[in-house]
Structures are given as structure tokens and as C-alpha cells.
Structure 1
């Protein structure tokens, strides 16, 4: 956009046709060249309210999907996304697939989740074939990888957790599937540092293509095999602000169904220059905002604990399970997938050595802070995502 502030002003004025925005901007003077930073930030609740009002707007330039980014069936977090999904613009800048590819789509359909439909459509635009498989359970990996290999699969779309499971299976069993795949499209969660490391060992030709965004904003940025996995090139129609390191997004695409204006996506980031040399604005995503929980009388970051656990040699994956409610944990379980030589005591000592306050607060209490072993971490069967943090009901 040549003048993103002017485009944002035009968008803000047009948004007031919806009662939600008319009320949100009631105290503002939207005439002239007003200061766009005076526009209040949007939350997920704001996006849902705007989406619900946009649903009744007719006629609309194009048809749309109703997707959700979470919540319950009574109070879902909703977004209307055009069925074209802005992919015409995205594929001008990001082309992981070509007409000779066969894509195995591991994103499951239904339940208002968007990824399955997005990657089918991406393949269609590229002229590629699609195997719309959905989520594969661990015990089914062997037979499905045989099936995908027989049908000439050259690309896989899945979360980093799903791609990691495939590569680990191939490394463990000697299955050749990963070495025949040229593109791994990932989305939905941060890319585990172990993924490119394992790829380099098992299948160096397995190029990683990621995209960054949310259901509410749709795709914000993208990267490719020559980029760090935490670095994303911003799309021209996404206006991104960094406010004290927090990411705010305004979608300026003319096909957007409901306005998204200064939406606080919940991530922290910083501008960087990507090593691939591609010009344009680029962000390094530094993690989530407000990730602290109260445990043992101190504030801890479950995401940080997961990263620290994986720094211990022999630990392949980790996940935090908290027992409690309202952001206050009564017990913490650290689940690890690790080599047999790694002991629970070594994991515990490694974690507490990195957390001075937590180590002092626990003072050796093994019941409140436990290490457990798992063959695999808990994943969401709908989305394939493996969260760093799970909450369990208080006993």
C-alpha cells in the first residue's frame, strides 16, 4: 500500500456502517487526516462481534466461510473469510506447490477449522493434486505413509508437530517416505527447532514452507526453505504495527468480509532482515504475550519451561500440564518425550536451575512439581496442534 495510513482511515470510516464499530469509534473524530494510532485496538471478542454483524450484510461481493479460532460452541471466536481466502494475492509471493505436485493435506476438515480447506484451495490454484487425508494417529503412520508413497506424494501440509512425527518415524524405522517429499507446508503453531534439525538428518530435500497469521486476520506473512522458521515476510495488504513489541494487524485486502483494524494478535515481534535476501518488511516472531501463570507463589512461563526442557540433550519434546483454575496452578506436570538415558531427576534439576524463584518456592516439593515420561505429547485431534500448555481440572 502506498499510503497505509490513508487506507486505514478509509477503512475505519467504512467500518462504522457496522453497529459494533460505530459504538467503538463513537468518541473519535474520523474526519480529515486523524491519527490512526488513536483507533482503539481490537480483541478477539471485537472480531467476533464484527463477524456476527457482517454475516447479515447483503449483498456481499463474494461468498465466505465461517471459521473459528477457538472458544466454546456457546461462545465461539468467529471470523468470516472469503472462499477465495486471499490466496490469489498470497500465491504471488509464496509458491510452495507446482502443477507436478501431489499434496497430502493432514489438516482435518470440519468443526469450523480453516486449514483443510485453505490447503486444498492452495493446491488447486497451483494445479497440483490433493490427497485430503486429515490427522494421522501414531499407530497409523506406517500404513498411511506407505499409501502416500504409492500415490506419488511430493508435498505434505501439516502442523510442525505432525511433520516432526513423520520425520521421527522415518528416522526410527528407515521408512523412505520423507526422502521423497520436496515440500513440507507448516502452519498453526511455532516451528519446533527440532524440525529443521531432524529434516537435515533424515531428508535434506524436504523444504520447509511456513506461514504466519490467525483465523481473524488470515495469512499475515510467509517464509520458505531459505528463511529462518521464526521469520516471516509480510504481505502487502497486511498493515502491521509493533506497539511496545506487540503485533497489531489491520487487513487492507479489499475482499475482507468484516473489518479487522489494529487487531492485537497476541504475539511479540521485532523487525529483521531475512537471510534469504528477499526485500520488503520482515518480522521475527518472539513468542506470545501474557504467557505467565501463577504457580508456587511465583510467576512462571510454561512456554519458556518447554524450551528449556528441550535444551537438555536427549529430550525431544515437552509439554506442561497445570492443575488449577483462573490462571493459578496448584500442580505442574512436565511431560517429556526423551531417550531412556534421560532421568526425571536430571530434567527436574535442569528446569529448576533455570528458575531461581521457582526452585526456592518449591524447596524440593516433588508432589507440586512432577516430571513424567510420555511416548507422545497430547495433540488436538481436530487441528493437529500440540500445545505447550494444557490445563486440567483441580482434583
Structure 2
């Protein structure tokens, strides 16, 4: 039996080959059976610093991709990931594709974004064919679904937002593409509860396969059609600590390019038994740690506002846009995609009724807090993600 504590201690000691970790652990005694849980937590800045030093720290096995999890071109958040992407181990536990599948990959290539290359490689290992399509705008959806249907597409890889757009289009137009789908691979953002609900109506044979992780850690856990979409089975080479509910990850995979040790991923979670019956550790992801913003003198959760807006019949999607400068919110706009029976004032009243402090602080101010109907929410064309919160310049 592997002594996990000993493996973790070895991981920490070997990390000091990197100058960044020599400095980070300078006040920690790494000798003997030290307590791994006393090591300082790792941030995205630490991951980037280690990534920038990785090329100089040799030897390491194999080649690697340089990916980013955000930031700017001047200050990107970087991570090196092996070109094999740990998929040999992952597919031993998670196999959404088979050799008869044709995968439409909606993740866009380039710009240091990882998903396109990951799912092409996943299909290759399964013996499946790939159509590397990338991001598809709403106005192009019909013609591309015609194309994908003609070429026998049976699986789609995309964010939940992208998969939901496809199913809604098929529901509204009667397009037969949904009926051809067997597997949907989703990633990058929480799965909207409306996705499995609409799937059950439009494409009941469309199994949803999710994975959970980050560019910095790579895949931490996975789920399948019999699992709740917020519950993920932890991979054996990822060591997960829950510290006051916060997720800290240490990667034990021998192919890791740079150390990931007690990385605070930014999510809250709890350990659960997944109803699918699969043995082993499972995590239920409860949301982000820091989801509150200061607005009108009170703390507000944009994610909560989005969920409350979607409780109203006829509201299909919602997004919060804050306007301000230097991180100070001056105005809040809740954008909603809704059918014709939903009035903007109805949504506004519903939201303020759910937020006692906010309603009191605004005292009826219509301009400071608005609800606006839109045809579609703003999505990131690079990643396909549709964020709950956007910032706009004043």
C-alpha cells in the first residue's frame, strides 16, 4: 500500500529544485516526517512563477504544451502540461468516446487555450474521428448543424453553454441533429441545471460526461451519465484536501512538468457518495469561494442573482454586468434571455424581493439596478464560456 503522506513529503522536497519553491518553503523544515498540511498554500501566481522556471529545471520526461488560464498578454497565468495530458490514466476511469464515434470539438484552438487539443487527443485514444470545428456563433448554428449531421456526428465536446445552445436550437427548429447524439463532453464552467432538463426533452439518448479541474492542476475528477452534474469522482493521482470547505489540490502524477502543491483552486466542496454507485472518493462542488461583490453599499452574489432570475418561468438564461472603474461597481444590469411573456419589471421585482439589503439600499432607483432583455448572453469566443459576471468600463 502506498504511503500517501510519504509521497506528499517527497513531492514537496523535490519541488525545491525550482527557485520559486526554495523561496516559498524557506521557513519550512522539510526534513523528517513533517506535516504536509503546514505547507503554505499555492496560488495562481505561484503556478505561473514555476511555469516560467520549468524550462530551466531538468531533467523531465517528454514534451509539453504551454497553456494559460487567463490574465493578460503582459501578465498571463501560465502552466506547462505534458502533451500526453495524463489522458492515458484518465481514460482508464472515464471513457465517453468509442471507436465508432465522430466527435465535433467546439473548443477553439490557439491563444494558449487547452481544451481543443485535449479533446482531439481524447478522441484519438478512443479511435474516434474528430471534426475540429471550434466556436460557432448563433447565426451560424443551423448551417453547421446541417454539416455535422451529414458527417455522422455522434458526440460533441463543449462548454455547458454551448451544448445548451445547440439543444435549444434543435427544440425551437426541430433540427434532427439532437437525435443523432450519443455523448456530450462538457467542461470549463458549472453545468446549468437546464442542460440535463432540456436533454431529457430533446435528446434523451445524449449522455453527459463532465470533468472538473483547471489548467493549473489539469483534470481532478470526472463524472458520467449516471452522476449528478455537480459531483465528480476524484482521480487517484490527484490529492485533494478540503480546508474549511475549500478545495486544495496536489498533483502526484509523475509526468507533471512543474509542481502543484496545495493549490487553492477557488472552489468549495464536500465529500459525498455518488448515487451512480462507483467506488472511491467523490466531490460535490458547491460553488466558488469568493462570489460576493460590493454594490450599493451591500454584498451581492451575482451567481445567486442569475439562479434566482432563472427560477421565473420563461427566463432561459441570465448574466450580471457591473459597470464601474477600479473594481468599484456603480451600476448593475441583469441581462436575461426570456420568452415574450416575461416582463423586465417582473424580473427586477422578483430579484429585489429576494435581496432585502439590496432592495433597501437602492430605494427604488431604476437606473442603478436594471433588468434588460437580450437575444443572447455574452460569451468568450476563445473559450466558449458564458460567465455569470462581466465588468464594463464606466
By the TM > 0.5 criterion, same fold? yes
SS for the counterpart of 1:375 is: coil
Deviations 1:233-278 (A, max 9, x none): 0000000000000000000000000000000000000111111000
Q: Give the structure 2 partner of residue 157 of structure 1.
A: 157
Q: Give the structure 1 partner of residue 147 of structure 2.
A: 147
After superposing the two structures, state which structure 1 stretch, 253-262 or 343-352, moved more. Answer: 343-352
Q: Give the structure 2 partner of residue 364 of structure 1.
A: 364
Q: Give the structure 2 partner of residue 96 of structure 1.
A: 96
Query: Aligned-pair distance for 1:56?
Result: 2.1
Q: Give the structure 2 partner of residue 19 of structure 1.
A: 19
The root-mean-square deviation of aligned C-alpha atoms, in Å, is 0.8
Equivalent residues of 1:209, 1:225 under 8 A apart: yes
Q: Number of paired residues?
A: 394
Q: Give the structure 2 partner of residue 77 of structure 1.
A: 77
Distance 1:261 1:113 in 2: 23
Distance 2:225 2:144 in 1: 26
Q: Give the structure 2 partner of residue 232 of structure 1.
A: 232
SS for the counterpart of 1:391 is: strand
SS for the counterpart of 1:177 is: helix
Deviations 1:266-319 (A, max 9, x none): 000011111100010001100001111110000101111111111111100000
Query: Aligned-pair distance for 1:326?
Result: 3.7
Q: Does 1:213 align with 2:213?
A: yes
Unpaired segments of 5 or more residues in structure 1? none
SS for the counterpart of 1:67 is: strand
Distance 2:392 2:327 in 1: 12
SS for the counterpart of 1:89 is: helix
Equivalent residues of 2:251, 2:259 under 8 A apart: yes
Distance 2:2 2:179 in 1: 44
Q: Does 1:120 align with 2:120?
A: yes
Equivalent residues of 2:17, 2:57 under 8 A apart: no
SS for the counterpart of 2:176 is: coil
Deviations 1:158-204 (A, max 9, x none): 00000000000000000010111000000000000000000000000
SS for the counterpart of 1:384 is: coil
Q: Give the structure 1 partner of residue 195 of structure 2.
A: 195
Equivalent residues of 1:293, 1:327 under 8 A apart: no
SS for the counterpart of 2:367 is: coil
Q: Give the structure 1 partner of residue 263 of structure 2.
A: 263
TM-score by length of 2: 0.99
Deviations 1:86-133 (A, max 9, x none): 000000000000001000000000000000000000000000000000
Equivalent residues of 1:294, 1:327 under 8 A apart: no
Deviations 1:1-20 (A, max 9, x none): 83222111000000001100
Deviations 1:192-231 (A, max 9, x none): 0000000000000010000000000000000000000000
Distance 1:376 1:77 in 2: 29
Q: Give the structure 2 partner of residue 62 of structure 1.
A: 62
SS for the counterpart of 1:286 is: strand
Equivalent residues of 2:18, 2:57 under 8 A apart: no
Equivalent residues of 2:318, 2:335 under 8 A apart: yes
Q: Give the structure 1 partner of residue 386 of structure 2.
A: 386
Q: Give the structure 1 partner of residue 344 of structure 2.
A: 344
